[in-house]
């Protein structure tokens, strides 16, 4: 019997190229005759373009062409659409190059095409754009206020949408019954995703055939093909190939279809040379879609015994200047539906207003809506516990949905299909030594030392998504996934998947599952992804969907292969198909191991196929389009311990324990890696990262000098555990893990900091908990204390 690969901590097969510097990222590709693009970007948050004088730039030797918004509009290039529509959504055209008005710092007003990147960047300086500068607005609540600056004429009052979920009357009724109402005002601040590989695009155009090829940093090349081909540029699918080679991290920011992709494609045809653009990091900050940016008022209605009754949430979601690909879905269906968490709320009502501002567009960033929801729920539940004098663990245990109660219908649309929350929490508490640490915390406080313990018992809905459901909610496309499994005559198994790996190790984990399904050596399995010319249509990787959806499609395709292989073996053995079994990598007559054919023999004969009966097709390949029946619902408990230096305000993570339940684990190395990275990003939001627009609408945190990325010494070694509750509805019971760490850790760390600051009377403060902010509240408390004494 071949060794089972599922569950094995196999070293990654993609690693040899990365550790030797032979990966193939978009910017690594150079083609003959290639020229370079550089963008002229608006330095103003809001302005009318009065005129553009590009004569000096054009005169620079080496400059080939200069494109403006009018050139693109004149050539019939359409604005970039959003992919998700809400009822009565107000949309303003998002042009690849703005023809008339710029709406955020970094908005593109012209593009230079030149022989070298340096010349293109030199020429940017010579383009003379005359602007009529307008007033601007960068904060969501300011944009909604009466008399605010109007960003787009299409959206009066800057309101893009006004959305609610849940039963308002039922929620009011629960609030009327409550012993206590706990209210929090929360700011979930704006983040920049910051994949370390900057975005890059290389467009090639072939006059013969009128064909385009775009190499680009994408998590989902088919989404790019649909958007660019069908909507923006009107290129038939068979004439537009999108290739996304090795991608250096995405975290959501490489889902979206960006202006620069349209510009290089357009330019490649215009100048009849391949055109490459690679973002400078300073451009990434003002052009990659940002994440989060919510202002929320949340109220919980509770009983004195800790019973949670109802939750009322009012959120202003800053969408930035334009609606990017998934923007309308993130603060609505990926947020409002998650506000139930792991608890038995009797009623929930959420009201979300999506608002335009003169800032970079906001869209999905690792977790996308779910971290924001988890932050609201987990912060308020911990606050309720504190105000009732309960332990934050006890209030959670009291209100958890119980295993016997699944499937569980929440008040906010989702039906959880499975879950078992207490064992995960108990395992985490045990790992941390929770009770002892609480005692130590009390002891330390007496000595003027402050640690805090933060609890987060999160749940997420991922594995996007049942197509009919998301379609009914406004998605303009289904979110099924495709797989094509093709067995070559030599027995090599080529797996073509619509999922896209940009760090998640699909080449390894997917091969493990295929090896088990087909009972072949794992090294005989080769994964192909990221190229629309080679793959059946697929939807890519985001929303923790690659394992539950992509790998389910592959599994089903493998099962079709096995069925077909049995038929071939039956023919070769002159047996009936019903008598065949697949054992130890062989197709044999049941109970007669001597009468068998190996996988290799079957694969070879599938291709030679010169003596087949009429009802048996030659070849050995299968395609499956898998559409999940429901989301999957991973959950777990994260416990953060922070230490606050009362003299300096310096707040540091000192321990982190997490127990996640993502169902059966294909490769524990990869799953734990996803948790590590996710936790670092969530911790980064809580303690370090912030995106700051100043009063004049300028982004003043636009480089790594100002935007504080987590570094090696900001993190600790994580203490990780797992429980396993399989998803009941996909073939392997898989659930996603890509976003869980980020979803849970921001709230866990925030709860820890607030817990640490309890002796200073701090009930809530907004992230990020920088030394300065923490010192300010400690200092204020000490001054007040001194005044009382």
Binding to other proteins in span 473-532, by CB under 8 A: 502-505
Report how far apart, in Å, the C-alpha atoms of 575 and of each of 559, 564, 589 are.
Answer: 20, 14, 7
3-state secondary structure 437-475: HHHHHHHHHHCCCEEEEEEEEEECCECCCCHHHHHHCCE
Can residue 5 be called a binding residue for other proteins (CB under 8 A)?
Answer: no
CB of 481 to other proteins, least distance (A): 21
Only one of the segments 18-26, 67-75, 263-271, 775-783 lies at the binding site for other proteins (rule: CB under 8 A); that segment is 18-26
248 or 369, CB closer to other proteins?
Answer: 248
384 or 686, CB closer to other proteins?
Answer: 686
User: Can you tell me which of 184, 444, 715, 762 binds other proteins, judged by CB under 8 A?
Assistant: 715
384 or 456, CB closer to other proteins?
Answer: 456
CB of 670 to other proteins, least distance (A): 7
CB of 240 to other proteins, least distance (A): 26
Can residue 709 be called a binding residue for other proteins (CB under 8 A)?
Answer: yes
Only one of the segments 114-122, 326-334, 474-482, 777-785 lies at the binding site for other proteins (rule: CB under 8 A); that segment is 114-122
198 or 229, CB closer to other proteins?
Answer: 198
6 or 18, CB closer to other proteins?
Answer: 18
Contact 266, 77 (CB under 8 A): yes
Only one of the segments 204-212, 275-283, 390-398, 578-586 lies at the binding site for other proteins (rule: CB under 8 A); that segment is 275-283
Neighbours of 477 (CB within 10 A): 15
Contact 424, 661 (CB under 8 A): yes
Neighbours of 191 (CB within 10 A): 24
Can residue 208 be called a binding residue for other proteins (CB under 8 A)?
Answer: no
118 or 783, CB closer to other proteins?
Answer: 118
CB of 27 to other proteins, least distance (A): 8
325 or 681, CB closer to other proteins?
Answer: 681
How many residues sit in the footprint of other proteins (CB under 8 A)? 76
Can residue 21 be called a binding residue for other proteins (CB under 8 A)?
Answer: yes
CB of 16 to other proteins, least distance (A): 5
11 or 435, CB closer to other proteins?
Answer: 11
User: Can you tell me which of 3, 574, 594, 713 binds other proteins, judged by CB under 8 A?
Assistant: 713
User: Can you tell me which of 102, 105, 323, 432 binds other proteins, judged by CB under 8 A?
Assistant: 105
Place of tokens 């590009």: 54
CB of 265 to other proteins, least distance (A): 23
CB of 671 to other proteins, least distance (A): 10
Residue 146 and residue 131: Cα distance in Å, rounded? Answer: 27
Contact 352, 163 (CB under 8 A): yes
CB of 708 to other proteins, least distance (A): 10
**SS3 category, 137:** coil
For the CA atoms of the chain, what is the radius of gyration? 28
Of 530, 536, 478, which is closest to residue 507 (Cα–Cα)?
530
Residue 508 and residue 12: Cα distance in Å, rounded? Answer: 5
User: Can you tell me which of 59, 125, 303, 780 binds other proteins, judged by CB under 8 A?
Assistant: 125
Residue 324 and residue 155: Cα distance in Å, rounded? Answer: 16
26 or 325, CB closer to other proteins?
Answer: 26
Which structure tokens are listed for 345? 């709320």
Residue 658 and residue 750: Cα distance in Å, rounded? Answer: 15
125 or 780, CB closer to other proteins?
Answer: 125
User: Can you tell me which of 1, 3, 30, 32 binds other proteins, judged by CB under 8 A?
Assistant: 30
Only one of the segments 289-297, 451-459, 524-532, 714-722 lies at the binding site for other proteins (rule: CB under 8 A); that segment is 714-722
Only one of the segments 174-182, 479-487, 635-643, 677-685 lies at the binding site for other proteins (rule: CB under 8 A); that segment is 677-685
User: Can you tell me which of 1, 20, 76, 786 binds other proteins, judged by CB under 8 A?
Assistant: 20
User: Can you tell me which of 248, 259, 341, 634 binds other proteins, judged by CB under 8 A?
Assistant: 248
Report how far apart, in Å, the C-alpha atoms of 620 and of each of 489, 597, 679 are.
Answer: 9, 15, 43
Only one of the segments 42-50, 387-395, 534-542, 628-636 lies at the binding site for other proteins (rule: CB under 8 A); that segment is 42-50
In the region spanning residues 689 to 708, those forming contacts with other proteins, defined by CB under 8 A, are: 694, 696, 698-706
195 or 414, CB closer to other proteins?
Answer: 195
Report how far apart, in Å, the C-alpha atoms of 124 and of each of 57, 118, 260, 443, 767 are.
Answer: 7, 10, 15, 62, 37
CB of 668 to other proteins, least distance (A): 10
Report which DSSP code applies to 119: H
**SS3 category, 332:** coil
Place of tokens 């467009």: 203
As beta bridge partners, residue 211 has: 206
Report which DSSP code applies to 126: H
Helix intervals (H) in 492-630:
506-518, 552-573, 599-608
Of 43, 211, 46, 204, which is closest to residue 128 (Cα–Cα)?
43
56 or 303, CB closer to other proteins?
Answer: 56
User: Can you tell me which of 252, 649, 678, 768 binds other proteins, judged by CB under 8 A?
Assistant: 678
Which structure tokens are listed for 185? 């005002």
Place of tokens 């107000």: 90
**SS3 category, 157:** helix
Of 292, 211, 277, which is closest to residue 767 (Cα–Cα)?
292
CB of 455 to other proteins, least distance (A): 20
Report which DSSP code applies to 2: P
In the region spanning residues 282 to 321, those forming contacts with other proteins, defined by CB under 8 A, are: 282, 285-286
Report how far apart, in Å, the C-alpha atoms of 15 and of each of 33, 512, 513, 647, 670 are.
Answer: 32, 16, 19, 45, 12
In the region spanning residues 55 to 84, those forming contacts with other proteins, defined by CB under 8 A, are: 61
Can residue 25 be called a binding residue for other proteins (CB under 8 A)?
Answer: yes
Report how far apart, in Å, the C-alpha atoms of 3 and of each of 12, 402, 593, 594 are.
Answer: 17, 37, 19, 22
Residue 59 and residue 49: Cα distance in Å, rounded? Answer: 22
Residue 9: left if φ>0, alpha if ψ -120 to 50, beta else—which one? beta
Only one of the segments 22-30, 68-76, 588-596, 642-650 lies at the binding site for other proteins (rule: CB under 8 A); that segment is 22-30
444 or 669, CB closer to other proteins?
Answer: 669
Can residue 35 be called a binding residue for other proteins (CB under 8 A)?
Answer: no
In the region spanning residues 147 to 206, those forming contacts with other proteins, defined by CB under 8 A, are: 194-198
28 or 617, CB closer to other proteins?
Answer: 28
Can residue 251 be called a binding residue for other proteins (CB under 8 A)?
Answer: yes
Residue 242 and residue 237: Cα distance in Å, rounded? Answer: 10
Can residue 246 be called a binding residue for other proteins (CB under 8 A)?
Answer: yes
Residue 377 and residue 374: Cα distance in Å, rounded? Answer: 5
């Amino acid at each position: 019997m071949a060794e089972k690969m599922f569950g094995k901590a196999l070293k990654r097969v993609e690693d040899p190229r990365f550790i030797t510097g032979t990966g193939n990222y978009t910017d690594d590709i150079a083609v003959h005759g290639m020229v370079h693009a550089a963008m002229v970007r608006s330095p103003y948050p809001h302005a009318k373009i009065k005129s553009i004088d590009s004569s000096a730039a054009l005169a620079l030797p080496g400059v080939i062409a200069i494109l403006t918004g009018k050139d693109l509009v004149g050539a019939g290039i359409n604005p970039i659409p959003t992919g998700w529509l809400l009822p009565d959504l107000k949309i303003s055209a998002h042009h690849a190059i703005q023809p008339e008005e710029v709406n955020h710092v970094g908005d593109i007003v012209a593009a230079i095409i030149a022989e070298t990147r340096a010349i293109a960047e030199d020429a940017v300086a010579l383009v003379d754009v005359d602007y009529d500068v307008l007033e601007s607005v960068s904060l969501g609540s300011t944009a909604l206020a009466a008399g605010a600056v109007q960003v787009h004429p299409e959206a009066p009052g800057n309101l893009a949408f006004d959305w609610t979920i849940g039963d308002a009357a039922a929620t009011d009724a629960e609030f009327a019954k409550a012993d206590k109402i706990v209210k929090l005002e929360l700011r979930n601040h704006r983040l920049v995703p910051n994949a370390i590989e900057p975005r890059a695009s290389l467009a090639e155009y072939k006059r013969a055939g009128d064909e385009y090829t775009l190499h680009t940093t994408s998590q989902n090349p088919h989404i790019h093909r649909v958007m660019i081909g069908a909507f923006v540029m009107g290129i038939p699918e068979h004439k537009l190939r999108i290739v996304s080679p090795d991608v250096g991290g995405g975290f959501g920011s490489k889902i979206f279809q960006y202006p620069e992709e349209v510009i290089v494609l357009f330019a490649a045809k215009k100048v009849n040379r391949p055109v490459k653009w690679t973002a400078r990091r300073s451009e990434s900050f003002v052009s990659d879609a940002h994440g989060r940016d919510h202002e929320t008022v949340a109220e919980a209605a509770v009983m004195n015994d800790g019973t949670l009754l109802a939750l009322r949430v009012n959120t202003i979601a800053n969408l930035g200047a334009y609606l990017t690909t998934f923007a309308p879905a993130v603060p609505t269906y990926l947020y409002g539906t998650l506000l139930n968490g792991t608890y038995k709320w009797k009623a929930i009502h959420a009201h979300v207003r999506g608002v335009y501002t003169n800032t970079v567009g906001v869209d999905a960033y690792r977790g996308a809506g779910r971290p924001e929801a988890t932050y609201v729920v987990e912060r308020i539940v911990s606050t309720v516990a504190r105000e009732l004098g309960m332990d934050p663990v006890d209030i959670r245990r009291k209100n958890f949905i119980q295993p016997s109660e699944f499937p569980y219908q929440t008040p906010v649309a989702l039906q959880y299909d499975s879950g078992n929350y207490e064992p995960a929490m108990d395992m985490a508490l045990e790992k941390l030594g929770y009770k002892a640490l609480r005692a130590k915390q009390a002891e330390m406080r007496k000595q003027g030392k402050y640690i805090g313990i933060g609890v987060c018992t999160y749940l997420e809905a991922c594995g996007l998504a049942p197509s009919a459901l998301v379609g009914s909610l406004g998605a303009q496309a289904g979110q099924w996934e495709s797989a094509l499994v093709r067995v070559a005559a030599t027995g090599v198994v080529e797996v073509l998947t619509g999922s896209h790996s940009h760090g998640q190790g699909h080449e390894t984990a997917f091969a493990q599952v295929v090896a088990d399904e087909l009972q072949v050596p794992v090294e005989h399995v080769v994964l192909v992804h990221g190229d629309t010319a080679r793959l059946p249509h697929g939807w890519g990787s985001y929303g923790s969907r690659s394992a539950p959806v992509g790998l389910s499609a592959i599994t089903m395709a493998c099962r079709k292969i096995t069925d077909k292989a049995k038929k071939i073996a039956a023919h070769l053995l002159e047996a009936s198909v019903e008598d065949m079994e697949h054992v130890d990598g062989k197709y044999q007559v049941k109970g007669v191991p001597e009468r068998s054919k190996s996988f290799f023999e079957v694969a070879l004969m599938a291709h030679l196929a010169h003596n087949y009966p009429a009802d048996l097709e030659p070849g050995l390949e299968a395609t499956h389009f898998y559409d999940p029946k429901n989301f999957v619902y991973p959950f777990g408990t994260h416990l953060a311990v922070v230490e606050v230096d009362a003299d300096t305000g310096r707040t540091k993570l000192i321990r982190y324990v997490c127990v996640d339940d993502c169902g059966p684990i294909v490769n524990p190395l990869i799953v734990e890696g996803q948790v590590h990275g996710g936790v670092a990003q969530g911790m980064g939001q809580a303690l370090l990262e912030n995106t700051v627009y100043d009063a004049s609408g300028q982004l003043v945190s636009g480089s790594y000098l100002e935007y504080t990325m987590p570094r090696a010494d900001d993190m600790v070694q994580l203490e990780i555990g797992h429980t396993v509750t399989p998803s009941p509805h996909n073939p392997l019971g898989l659930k996603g893990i890509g976003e869980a760490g980020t979803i849970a850790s921001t709230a866990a760390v925030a709860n820890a900091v607030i817990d640490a600051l309890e002796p200073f009377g701090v009930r809530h403060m907004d992230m990020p908990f920088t030394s300065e902010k923490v010192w300010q509240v400690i200092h204020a408390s000490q001054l007040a204390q001194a005044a009382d004494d």
